A and B are shown apart, each in its own frame.
Chain A
Amino acid sequence: MNVTRGFTGRDRVHNPGLPPGQYDAGDDWPVLSAEVTPELAPADWTFRVDGLVERPHTWDWDEAHALPPSAYEGDIHCVTSWSKFGVRFGGVSLDAFLDVVRPHGSATHAVAYSHTGYTTNLPLADLTGGRAWIAWEYDSEPLAAEHGGPARLLVPHLYFWKSAKWIAGLRLLDHDEPGFWEQNGYHARGNPWEEQRYSGD
């Protein structure tokens, strides 16, 4: 351990919900995206799931909202070291979308892509079983554009760069294909509890 002289850290109560290397951002919700925030109206938003599926499908805003609603209440963790506790997102479980397209047995991974062109890869197992959402509400309000509104992917058990803002679609694949930050050195999976920040961690 490399102790830093005179560094004590802020007054802290150990929070068991805080993954290693993270700090509690409190009320702050930092914004980190590399691209220009798009002006995307709900009427222009669409979400497509294709690739290794039986029935590729594209939902528009109304059709997606007709699916059974599902909320996430819990924590989120950003690779830049902040975590945010007790957030509330509303939307639809990704399972509901996958039920419609029926993934092939050969599908193991997905590339999520945004209306901006941003991409990120995920194992399919991280997107199923009630662990991922398409979210359009935050604290019962429409999700703000800078946080990915009108709708973003939400995969709260992984670092937040996986939760693609302005989500446009998922392509199911039988192999892993690095996305935008993963090509820039980030970890392929990004589990905060194992501190999978950078490739090689």
Chain B
Amino acid sequence: MSTSSFSSFTPSTRFAVPGRIAVSNRAAALWQTATLTEIRRETPHAATFRFAVPAWAGHLPGQHLMLRLTAEDGYTAQRHYSIASAPDDAGHIELTLDHVEGGEVSGWFHTVAKPGDEVEVRGPLSGFFAWPGDRPALLIGAGSGVVPLMSMVRHHRARELSVPLRLLVSARRPEELIYARELGTETTPVFTRSAPEGVPVGRMAAAHVASVLADQPPGGWEAYVCGSNAFAEHASRLLVEAGQPVDRIRIERFG
């Protein structure tokens, strides 16, 4: 075949403003001790763990960290967790963990951890999913996928930002909606198994996305999708079908 017609490939990343947030390589490489100071139950399956990390370099909403647990024999387990708290919580960070059935790390947090315990963290990591509060943000999450999005919502509130922000969040039932008490008028919850009186039950659908996309702020939305891979695939497809440009969709998949 001829090769001449393919000369237009460019090996440059075309995601919206790639690497728009510079990450500190030093912070990313350094393990620090995080001391658990408080545990707050959010839902029957999720709890928030608050840590003191005195030398925390600060983060942007949407970033995550790497957390490490070490057994007496030196065995370690490390997992990524999104940061739930807003950046202004100096010297402290909060994580919200789902209790995964049979989970090694989340299992330790939900059955053993208590205030005073120490774990190790490194980060913040990844600028790609971060939202510094500069652009209209359409946030779509499911289950614990709401965690990094909540950091954005909290940041928006704490700084009284006027840039538009909307959150579509899916949960099985109202009792399983993480941060339910804190969600406000920016949020549309979607319940897949059972819902309060008068609220429909069902998956996130084109109509949910369409109503937000119809309400375009100047310059359009920057979409942030977070959750399980199945949810991320579903939600990102809804966005694309509704006309959101693919290079303005950022996805954080929990695996």
| A residues with CB within 8 A of B | 1-10, 12, 21, 23, 28, 30-38, 46, 48, 50, 56-58, 60, 63, 80-82, 111, 113, 116-119, 146, 168-169, 171, 179-180, 183-185, 197-201
Contact = CB atoms under 8 A, between A and B. Distances in A.
Contact of A7 (B112, B129, B255): B112
Contacts of B240: 36
Given A32-B253, A36-B236, A146-B229, A168 B9 contact: yes
Interface residues on B, range: 35 or more
Contacts of B112: 5-7
Given A6-B112, A168-B9, A200-B28, A30 B229 contact: yes
Interface of B: 1, 3, 6, 9-15, 18-19, 23-26, 28-30, 33, 66, 68-72, 74-80, 104, 108, 112-113, 117-120, 122, 125-129, 229, 233, 236-237, 239-240, 246-247, 249-253, 255
Contacts of B80: 80-81
A118 B247 CA distance: 11
Contact of B12 (A1, A2, A116, A119): A119
Contacts of A33: 251, 253
B126 A184 contact: yes
Contacts of A58: 1, 3, 6
Contacts of B129: 34
A119 B25 CA distance: 19
Given A36-B246, A184-B23, A185-B28, A8 B126 contact: no
27 contacts: A1-B74, A2-B118, A4-B108, A6-B108, A7-B108, A9-B69, A12-B75, A21-B76, A30-B253, A31-B255, A33-B253, A35-B246, A35-B249, A36-B251, A48-B3, A81-B78, A82-B255, A113-B13, A116-B14, A117-B13, A119-B13, A180-B128, A184-B126, A185-B127, A198-B25, A200-B28, A201-B29
Contact of A113 (B3, B9, B233): B9
Contact of B77 (A9, A36, A56, A201): A9
A146 B33 CA distance: 36
Contact of A3 (B66, B70, B128): B70
Contacts of B14: 116-117
Contact of B71 (A3, A37, A116): A3
Nearest to A57: B3
Given A7-B71, A37-B233, A200 B25 contact: yes
Given A7-B70, A10-B104, A201-B29, A185 B125 contact: yes
B236 A63 contact: no
Contacts of B29: 198-201
Contacts, number: 155
A48 B253 contact: no
Nearest to A56: B3
A192 B71 CA distance: 21
A180 B3 contact: no
A4 B70 contact: yes
B80 to A, nearest CB: 6
A82 B77 CA distance: 10
A168 B14 CA distance: 13
B28 A198 contact: yes
Given A80-B80, A180-B15, 6 more contacts: A2-B70, A31-B255, A116-B246, A146-B229, A185-B23, A185-B25
Nearest to A23: B77
Nearest to A200: B29
B19 A184 contact: yes
